[in-house]
Each structure stands twice: as structure tokens, then as C-alpha cells.
Amino acid sequence: MMEKVAAQIENLHSKKFGEDHKINWYYYDDVMGEGDGKCAACGGKFTIRLKRSSAQGGD
């Protein structure tokens, strides 16, 4: 899921500002659903914090 979210953020940012605007993810934890990145071209900062579903696991 993190991969899809990060890719969508990158695509939207580069569409708006140009293809040279790539996000460098300096913190990326797929298990926790967290990521922090910065655009090398404009310095824009990006944060991803996915909430875990309470439906995980079974009772």
C-alpha cells in the first residue's frame, strides 16, 4: 500500500511542477505505513502516515 501512495504523491507533484521534481524518501517504513520525503528540486516536504485498519486479525 505504501508503494502505491508514495508513487501517487510523486506523480501528482511532478505533473504540477515538472519531471525534474522527484521525491527522495529518506524515511520509508512499509510495515508501519510511514514515510518522509523531500523534493530535490523545490525542497517541498512530504509525509505519509497510513492508519492501520482495526479489521486486521480475527476474533
Which residue did the predictor score with more confidence, 42 or 1? Answer: 42
What residue numbers bound the domain in which 31 lies? 2-49
In the beta sheet, which residues pair with residue 27? Answer: 36
- Mean pLDDT estimate for the chain: 91
Q: Is residue 8 part of a domain?
A: yes
Q: Is residue 59 part of a domain?
A: no
Q: How much is the pLDDT for 1? A: 87
Q: How much is the pLDDT for 59? A: 45
pTM: 0.78
3-state secondary structure labels for all residues of 9-52: HHHHHHHHHCCCCCEEEEEEECCCCEEEEEECCCCCEEEEECCC
Q: Is residue 44 part of a domain?
A: yes
Domain count, the chain: 1
3-state DSSP assignment of residue 54: coil
Q: Which amino acid is at 51?
A: K
For range 32-43, the mean pLDDT: 96
